[in-house]
Chains A and B, each alone.
Chain A
Amino acid sequence: MRKLALNDEILLSIDKPARYIGGEVNSVMKDKKTVSIRFAMCFPDVYEIGMSHLGIQILYDMFNRREDVWCERVYSPWVDLDKILRERGIPLFALESQDPVKDFDFLGITLQYEMCYTNVLQILDLSQIPLLAEDRGEGWEYPLVIGGGPCAYNPEPIAPFFDMFYIGEGEVVYDALLDLYKKCRAKGMNRPEFLHKAAQLPGIYVPSLYQVSYNEDGTIASFAPVCGDIPSVISRQAVLDMTAAPYPDAPVVPFIKATQDRVVLEIQRGCIRGCRFCQAGMIYRPTRERSLDCLKEHAYRMLKNTGHEEISLSSLSSSDYSDLPGIVNFLIGEFGSGNINISLPSLRIDAFSLDVMSKVQDVRKSSLTFAPEAGSQRLRDVINKGLTEEVILSGADQAFHGGWNKVKLYFMLGLPLEEEEDRKAIAHLAELIAEKYYEIPKDQRNGKCQINVSTSFFVPKPFTPFQWARMYHPGDYLGFAKTVNHEIKAMKNQKSIRYNWHQADVTLLEGIFARGDRRIAGVILDAYKNGALYDAWTEYWDYGRWLAAFARAGVDMDFYTQRERAEDEIFPWDFIDIGVTKKFLLSEWKKAKQGIVTPNCREKCSGCGAARYKGGVCAEGKN
């Protein structure tokens, strides 16, 4: 039997011990004596969340295909085990071998949302790895700590905690990085020598090799490498042939129920829509599809190898997949009768999607989701959300006639150029949808309708046209939500409309982490040392603790949140080249202010810059 890192007494005294024992179906065991590189792959949140993440599954599979690498998994210990590990000085361990993380060659941490930053420090701390990269010495006492994922597109607020970052999609450069590591270790190079070499690989950013200077007003004056053979611009790595890219045929099947307890089929990467608030829509350009045949193969193999009873499509906008009927009809025809549930998220509501959804779900129980994001057509044009009131209402009308009576509506508040009328328009749109329902004769409808309106507060993200935008104060945000609430209460069908909104203060922090610079790192470290952890979890979120940390560090929150940036300001993330140019983003920001919409990539190329990758939608019809 595998020896576990924790004894029975500990495991039986904590919640869900299965989070920490490994040994799941399809987890990969190797003989550590036969591998050259041990890689600990971490999602800095609790097991059930981390196990649901597709990106790690892809890299876990890809790394373990190499005979010389053993990749294992690590997640954040929940607060109960966190306390025990600290009290007893037990080092954090990887699930497969149960060996301490500090004995590994690499610790890779995926950064999927900003509010995980204190959990990153927890992982390092419990692993007994110095929190600051500069304290890890010149030798090989500690693993190389490498960050990746969407938040690595502005790594600066957490730069001092990492030895390096991988900018872009993992499938591309990791093999070269691992080969380089083996070569450097064989030659007897030390840690700084290896990092210097690694910094010359495309997509690899080593923060210690770059220096920042600031203007008197606090903005960045310059950002440059400290020596001449290090690139001044890091180019983000993108997979060009999705069909040929590795994809796991046998993902790990947890003993306990993960958030995503199903087979996930990534049908495409990227989005053609160009919504101006959306970071994913920019950093994953160009949109690239997997072929239908390849998807069919993966669907068969993954269902067979996992035994999952559900399969779901994954993409930013499934309706834009060029052969959506092909994949959907295949899934229904092939698996629909075998007691496999089929889940079809992010579908535009139209006749086709309603037809297929009525085949795969119970119409009476399920709800339909619209994401208009803004209440008024004017503001939807500002954010370039190409969804019109007419389309929403006709979609709702068709859905109601098809038997649905539950609708979810998602909006954002605090968008650039948003005014009082736009907020009230959220209530008006919900009311119009309710009225559509009650136009149906009473004997043909299914009781009352239920419209759930949710708003989140908008956070400007790097590499979007709104990266120049200002944010608001917590009190302002709550005022915006109040306006919506009041207006909904004034509607005729208010009893059919439910409204809930998100916390406001966490939005501010998310905004600071998203667009912050290196000076934020000290605040994160201070907050962590004063108890901040699991900030993404409402029950552990403590705004006061963060306010105190900013005050102690003398860092002005408003500088990061309340300022509309000048057009020529140097951003902390400007050294990364994602393909989409800053010039394009700025022209989109200007168009937003004029309410001019930009067509999607298939309608007309807008020259965003992603065409330099020479792939995906940019190359469609040009072969």
Chain B
Amino acid sequence: MKFIGHLDVMRYFQKAIRRAGIDIAFTEGLSPHMIMSFAAPLGVGLTSDAEYMDIELNTPPSSGKAVIDALNAAGTEGITVTGFWQIPEDKANKAMSLVAAADYELRFRGGCAPAGDWQSQISHFFAQKEIVVLKKTKKAEKEADIRPMIYEMSVNAGTVFMKLAAGSAANLKPELVMDAYLHSIGVEPEPFAYEIHRCEVYANLGNEKKRRLVPLGALGREIVDESPAGPDDNVQETAYI
């Protein structure tokens, strides 16, 4: 489903929720819309195991599994709901603002990997104190140090792992990091050469200096049998190709 843009994924879930007969809450007003928000919009071309969205229900479901099964039965190949949790009142409808980091795996498409040994310098690259790149904004290009937004970076048998800042406060795209790395070893990155997969999205329960990253899914709790009050739920959606 990597060819479907974020807004169309939203539309997909709006329709899937209706097909599944899930009693979702709507906003008030003249043109009511479903109360639904995604934690971290996924770019076109990326696959993911960890897409999170908040929805608000009018009636508590009998179990999380019932919702998962209903959504998957109403869904299509390539988008699978893998988890459904009730999230505490103070974190409801805040998925987007909670996002602090994300894990990515990056590979080269078949035939697109640079010639020679491109992997061995990654630990050296990550060990630098400062990594200055040209960041394009809407108005101009400006230099920025992206090193503080790279939390982890390593490589194993051709797959580059990155833990990067994500969310509204600071967000770093994995392709930008990889481009910077390739430039540092004198390789010109080619368009469409990367296959990028998002593995997990985290909230930070610590502070800026001492991060305590927790997967968004761990913020909620399983719904089994009769659900207690509190209508806010968190759905994890998996997209893969």
Chain A residues within 8 Å of B, Cβ to Cβ: 1-2, 8-9, 11-13, 17-18, 21, 23-25, 253, 255-257, 303-309, 339, 362
A9 and B15 contact, Cβ closer than 8 Å, known pairs A24-B76, A256-B8: no
For B26, the closest partner residue in chain A by CB is: A339
- The reply to whether A8 and B192 form a contact with Cβ atoms under 8 Å apart is yes
Q: How long is the Cα–Cα vector from A257 to B14 in the complex, in angstroms?
A: 13
**Per-residue contact bits, chain B 109-139, to A (CB 8 Å; 1 contact, 0 not):** 1000000000000000000000000000000
How many Å lie between the Cα of A255 and that of B5 in the bound state?
A: 9
User: Is B4 among interface residues, defined by CB-CB distance under 8 A?
Assistant: yes
A366 to B44, CA, bound (A): 35
In the A-B complex, the 5 residue pairs with the closest CB atoms: A307-B15, A307-B18, A307-B19, A17-B3, A9-B192
| Other-chain contact of B32, A253, A304, A339 (Cβ < 8 Å) | A339
25 of the cross-chain contacts (CB-CB < 8 Å) are A1-B78, A8-B2, A8-B45, A8-B109, A8-B195, A12-B3, A12-B44, A12-B192, A18-B8, A24-B76, A25-B15, A25-B16, A25-B19, A25-B74, A25-B75, A255-B8, A255-B12, A256-B8, A257-B11, A303-B18, A304-B21, A307-B16, A307-B19, A339-B26, A362-B31
A469 to B15, CA, bound (A): 48
A23 in contact with B19 given A1-B241, A8-B109, A18-B3 (CB within 8 Å): no
Chain B proximity of A622: nearest CB distance (Å): 43
| 19 further interface pairs, Cβ-Cβ under 8 Å (given A23-B77, A255-B11, A362-B30) | A1-B77, A9-B109, A9-B192, A11-B3, A12-B45, A13-B192, A18-B8, A23-B78, A25-B15, A255-B4, A255-B12, A256-B5, A256-B8, A304-B21, A307-B14, A307-B15, A307-B16, A307-B19, A309-B18
Residue total for B at the interface (Cβ-Cβ under 8 A): 30
Residue of B nearest to A20 (CB): B3
Cβ of B219 < 8 Å from any Cβ of A?
no
A253 touches which of B3, B15, B77 (Cβ 8 Å) = B15
Inter-subunit contact A18/B109 (CB<8 Å): no
CB distance from A51 to the nearest CB of B (A): 13
Specify which chain B residues have a CB less than 8 angstroms from the CB of A307 in the assembled complex: 14-19, 74
Determine if B4 and A18 form an interchain contact, defined as CB atoms under 8 angstroms apart: yes
Q: Which of B4, B21, B74 has the most CB of A within 10 A?
A: B4
Chain B, 38-73, CB within 8 A of any chain A CB: 44-45
Residue of A nearest to B34 (CB): A339
Given A2-B77, A18-B3, A304-B19 contact (CB < 8 Å): yes
Contact B15 A308 (CB under 8 A): yes
Q: Is the CB of A25 within 8 A of B76?
A: yes
Q: B195 contacts which chain A residues (CB < 8 A)?
A: 8
- CA A12 – CA B44 in complex, angstroms? 8
**A11 to B3, alpha carbons, bound, how many Å?**
8
A546 CB, nearest partner CB in chain B, Å: 36
Contacts of A24 in B (CB 8 A): 76
Q: Report the bound CA distance from A6 to B8 in whole Å.
A: 21
| A18 partner residues in chain B, CB cutoff 8 A | 3-5, 8
Q: Contact check, B109 vs A23: say whether CB atoms are below 8 A apart.
A: no
Q: How many A-B residue pairs have CB under 8 A?
A: 67
CB distance from B196 to the nearest CB of A (A): 11
Task: Please give, as numbers and ranges, the residues of chain A lying within 8 Å of B2 by CB-CB distance.
Answer: 8
Knowing A305-B19, A308-B15 touch, does A23 contact B76 (C-beta < 8 A)? yes
Which of chain A's residues have a CB closer than 8 A to the CB of B18? 303, 307-309
Known: A2-B77, A21-B3. A257 touches B8 (CB 8 A): yes
Residues of chain B with a CB closer than 8 A to A255's CB: 4, 8, 11-12
Q: Is the CB of B26 within 8 A of A309?
A: no
Give A188 to B45 CA distance when docked, in angstroms.
47
Question: Nearest residue in A to B18 (C-beta to C-beta)?
Answer: A307
Q: What are the residues of chain A within 8 A of B78 when measuring CB–CB?
A: 1, 23
Distance in angstroms from A21 CB to nearest chain B CB is 6
Most buried by B among A21, A255, A308: A255
Provide the bound-state CA to CA distance between A362 and B14, in Å.
22
Q: Which residue of A lies closest to B32 (CB)?
A: A339
Q: Mark B149-180, 1 if CB is under 8 A from A, else 0.
A: 00000000000000000000000000000000
In the assembled complex, the CB of A263 is this many whole angstroms from the nearest CB of chain B, namely: 11
Chain B contacts for A306, CB-based, 8 A: 15, 19
A339 to B27, CA, bound (A): 10
What residues of B have a CB within 8 angstroms of the CB of A303 in the complex? 18
What chain B residues lie within 8 Å of A11 (beta carbons)? 3
Chain A residue at minimal CB-CB distance from B7: A257
A339–B35 Cα distance when bound, in Å, is 13
- A304 CA to B73 CA, complexed, in Å: 13
The winner among A21, A307, A308 for most chain B CB atoms within 10 A is A307
Bound Cα distance A257, B7 (Å): 10
Closest A residue to B33 using CB positions: A339
Which residue on B lies nearest to A261, using beta carbons?
B11
A308 to B18 Cα, complex, angstroms: 8
Scoring B residues 198 to 216 as 1 if CB is less than 8 Å from chain A, else 0, what string do you get?
0000000000000000000
Name the residue of chain B whose CB is nearest to the CB of A11: B3
CA distance A196 to B14 in the complex (A): 50
Instruction: Tell me the minimal C-beta distance from A336 to chain B in angstroms.
Output: 12
Nearest opposing residue in chain B for A21, CB measure: B3
The residue on A at minimum CB distance from B9 is A255
- In the bound complex, what is the Cα–Cα distance between A256 and B3 (angstroms)? 10
Residues of the A chain whose Cβ atoms lie less than 8 Å from the Cβ of B5: 18, 256
- Give the most central of B12, B18, B44, B75: most A CB within 10 Å: B18
CA distance A309 to B12 in the complex (A): 12
